[in-house]
Amino acid sequence: MASASAKTDERVRELSWFNRLLSRPEFGALSGAILVFVMFTIFAWDASTNSSGFLGWRAVVTWLKFSAEIGIIGIGATLLMIGGEFDLSVGSIIGMTSLILLAPIVLYGWAPWQAILLTLAVAVLLGWINGTLVNATGLPSFIVTLAFLYIYRGLTLVVTRALTGGATRVDIQALVGQNGIADVPQAREFIRSDRLAQLFSGEVWLSPKIVGFLGNIGLIPIQTRNVLDPATGQRTPMDLPIIDGIPVAVGWWIGLTILAIILLQRTQLGNWIFGTGGHAESARNMGVPTNRVKILLFMGTALCGTILSILQVFEAGSSEVLRGQLKEFEAIIVAVIGGTLLTGGYGSVAGAFWGALIYGMIARGTEIVRWMPNDWFRIFLGVGLLAAVLFNTYIRKRATEAK
């Protein structure tokens, strides 16, 4: 009798599938990603070829890669914001770690794997410094990390000028003439031949054989490209697919997203993150080590920024003082579009994934659509950010009322 009564108790309200969907913080970002995808597919439609330039192989790889780069740092920013803190220094960390990675390789003859391990270790240290000072001073993380935005950028500028005699960048061009390296392409191949460096460069998922097969059957367009012959050191023209595979940054983005989702939803640390951001004092009274959680989150944010830095250095072949500029704000934008609240305690890594995809599609979509000026990108982004905040606020209100 008690069981039957509980089933019909009017105080127990059964939520519809729609209300359960509304309660998910990533619902707004997923809806926005679908809308943006459809919009740019239509805007880039070419009646003469009966196809959309937005869906071409090269275009898809381009906006996926851009989304991945902003999505990687968006993961760290999202976890930190759910924990109730901000990190405005991540852009400067990207610039600093790019120098720490490349300078030992080109100036002091380090192996790439040694420089990578050093760079990751420094990233952990920088994140620890940020988190420790936030806990020790009691100041808002916005203020502490804003100060370090300038400190890290200034240190990078000073050290770079000292190492290069006044220049603001370190380039793999300095490797030419060393170890039998004749030109910059060979310098790139030298770095990418390192086992650990291979995790941060090139393409993933599509092997040359698979790409070649797809090209031969007409699924990927073919074009003539000059390819370096390792045996002769000369470049010869070859008919190859227009893409070599999926950029490795996309693999990192998806892998880190899955890892962060599992951490947030399936582990005790994930519960601690929500508790720390929702109400730190209550969480502390319940035994949650809130200070330790915050330090770990700052370290995670710095690591995400450094992973992006390593990917960019191995692709561009250079370290620049201004690399990473404004990335701290782009990471926050991705998190907010993904449904994460600025007040902490609520958010979704999956939402940040879709938020990064929205960002990438808008950024590269405005370049693909020929009649749309590139200057419209920031207008779209600003409108999208405002719409995302309003929509997420509405969603959360509906979800709260439904409960």
Question: Sorting pLDDT into bands at 50, 70 and 90, what band is 6?
Answer: very low
Residue 345 lies in a domain: yes
Whether residue 253 contacts residue 356, with contact meaning beta carbons closer than 8 Å, is answered with: yes
Percent with pLDDT over 70 in the chain? 78
**77 pLDDT exceeds 90?**
yes
For 61-74, what is the mean pLDDT? 93
Q: Tell whether 217 is covered by a domain.
A: no
375 compared with 338, residue with greater pLDDT: 338
The model's pTM = 0.86
How many domains in the chain? 1
Is residue 235 in some structural domain? no
Look at residue 17 and tell me if it is in a domain: no
343 domain residue, yes or no: yes
Q: Which domain holds residue 35?
A: 24-205+245-398
Which CATH number covers residue 275? 1.10.3470
In the structure, what pLDDT confidence band is assigned to residue 2 with cuts at 50, 70 and 90? Answer: very low
The yes-or-no verdict on residue 222 having pLDDT over 90 is no
Which position has the higher pLDDT, 58 or 159? Answer: 159
Asked if residue 370 belongs to a domain, the reply is: yes
Strand-pair category, 318-320 with 203-204: unpaired
Has residue 344 been placed in a domain? Answer: yes
- 224 within a domain of the structure (yes/no): no
pLDDT tens digits for 265-304? Answer: 999 999 999 999 998 899 999 999 999 999 999 999 999 9
